[in-house]
Amino acid sequence: MADRLIFEYEQSLASLSGDDFQSEIIARLQGFIIDFQPIPPHPQGDAGLDGISHGGKHGYCCYGLEPNQFKTDKDRTSAVVEKFKSDLRRICELEFEKNKLRHCDNAEIATILPDGKKIQHVTLLPNWFGSHRVLNPITTALAKYLEASQCRYIEKNATVVILGPKQLANRYTVDEVTIARARQRVFIEKIEEKAASIALISTEKFDKKMTDLVGLLGGAEEPVTALKGGLQAAWRKSLAFEQELNDTLPGIHRDLELRRSQILTKVSMLMVASSEPWKELERATQIASELLGSDLKKLYGALVDDLSCGEIARLIGECPVGWEKGTSI
């Protein structure tokens, strides 16, 4: 049982990328390192660090390679090496100028580390660690950087280690909660990837209502264009979600169809009662979120918000009635 969970979690980590991978790594480390502190990238970047712990003595850097971005292990090795070398240079306050290292202030790192503390150890966490050939370039680079650095925020004898999905899965206990969280992230990333390839068809009614809305709002074309783009993106995600459920989880798909009919009824009632139906879009989305959330929030988290917007976009696009007073959408 334990081996199965570890293997599944390893595979889940390897399939995540970008912010989803980083979010899962942060959630994982927060669960086991009592003083693990994530580093938000705002307002001026994360200074090369995605997290710190042990009173500021340990630093963490994540890198989730995008799927299919690199064709060979050689390409992936190069990407991992270059990304983490860049992070290490920032921590060491260095940059290249005509192929020579020179000091470059990293002002934000002082706003992250406790006063008087320096990093003693850096953990690098990629979603791919399929070759030991990442090791020598990174460890050699750190030694070179420490030699050239003023070491204002990192110790001269600082160490570095790389942990891939397998090593991280084995380092701490994997339980059902961890697996459920990872499954949710993997599913959501799959939906987002699928949504990007979906083409909306028969959008004439939706497009007309968006055009009419510009006139109703006195020619406010820019905000309506932004609204239109957001609704279309959510609509595609909702369609991708429906397809995935239909293919893999027909029981939940039946629940979704029931909630859709309830959304249609309640939103139609809301719009018919309004003298300016287009002003009820936010409330309509809240209704959709409340109805979908009762079944899906625990399983799919923040995805429910996008699905709710997508359902309203679908109603706008499929309903033949316009924005006239006292009508549905």
Assess if residue 75 is contained within a domain: yes
Phi and psi at residue 103, to the nearest 5°: -65, 140
Residue 200 phi, psi dihedral angles, 5° rounding: -75, 135
Residues 27-67: pLDDT tens digits? Answer: 999 989 999 999 988 877 678 899 999 999 999 999 999 87
Which pLDDT belongs to residue 319?
A: 74
Biggest alpha carbon–alpha carbon distance for the chain: 73
Same domain, 166 and 91: yes
With a pLDDT cut of 70, the percent of the chain lying above it is 96
Q: Please report the DSSP string for 113-135 in residue order.
A: SPTT--EEEEEEEES----GGGH
Q: Are residues 166 and 213 in the same domain?
A: no
**Distance between CA 44 and CA 303 in Å, rounded?**
28
147 located within any domain: yes
Residue 75 confidence (pLDDT) above 70: yes
Both structure tokens of 327: 């009508």
Rounded to whole angstroms, the Cα distance separating 271 from 327 reads 6
pLDDT at position 249:
78
Structural tokens at position 71: 């064709």
Least confident of 75-84, 177-186, 226-235: 177-186
**pLDDT (mean) for 251-264:** 87
**pLDDT tier at 329, thresholds 50, 70, 90:** low
Per-residue pLDDT, 324: 65
Do 63 and 127 sit in the same domain of this protein?
Answer: yes
Q: Report if residue 193 sits inside a domain.
A: no
Q: Please check whether residues 106 and 232 belong to one and the same domain.
A: no
Do residues 156 and 211 share a domain? no
| Residue 321, pLDDT score | 62
Residue-level pLDDT at 82: 96
Q: What is the mean pLDDT of the chain?
A: 89
Residue 186 lies inside a defined structural domain of this protein: no
Q: pLDDT (tens digit, 9 = 90+) per residue, 121-168? A: 999 999 999 999 999 999 999 999 999 999 999 999 999 999 999 999
- Tell whether 6 and 118 lie within a shared domain: yes
Per-residue model confidence (pLDDT) at position 44: 72
In the chain the first and final C-alpha atoms are separated, in Å, by 51
Query: 247 to each of 87, 184, 240, 274, how far by Cα in Å?
Result: 41, 17, 11, 38
Nearest Cα neighbor of 57 from 37, 42, 79, 75 is 37
Question: Using the 8-state DSSP alphabet, how is residue 66 labeled?
Answer: P
Distance CA 194, CA 248 (A): 14
Let me know whether 155 and 236 are in one domain: no
Q: Is the pLDDT of residue 212 over 80?
A: yes
Evaluate whether residue 216 is within a structural domain: yes
Q: How confident is the model at residue 252 (pLDDT cuts 50, 70, 90)?
A: confident
pLDDT band at 77 (very low <50, low <70, confident <90, very high): very high
What's the structural domain count of the chain?
2
Is 165 a member of any domain? yes
Residue 207's domain spans which residues?
198-318
Residues 128 and 244 in one domain: no
How many whole angstroms from its chain centre is CA 318? 30
In a domain, 184, yes or no: no
Report which of residues 85 and 276 the model is more confident about.
85
- Residues 300, 206: one domain? yes
Residues 205 and 136 in one domain: no
Q: Which helix (H) or strand (E) element contains residue 154?
A: strand 154-162
Checking if the pLDDT of 1 tops 70, the result is no
- Res. 247: pLDDT tops 90: no
Please indicate, yes or no, whether residues 8 and 91 belong to a single structural domain of this protein: yes
Q: How far is CA 189 from the centre of its chain?
A: 8
One domain, residues 78 and 215: no
Q: Which residues are within 8 A (CB) of 324 and not within 5 positions of it... i.e. 6 or more apart? A: 277
- pLDDT tier at 70, thresholds 50, 70, 90: confident
Per-residue pLDDT, 326: 52
Q: How far apart are CA 113 and CA 288, in angstroms?
A: 43
Residue 174 region by backbone torsions, left for phi larger than 0, else alpha for psi between -120 and 50, else beta: beta
Phi, psi values for residue 162, rounded to 5° = -110, 130
Q: Does the residue 161 lie in any domain?
A: yes
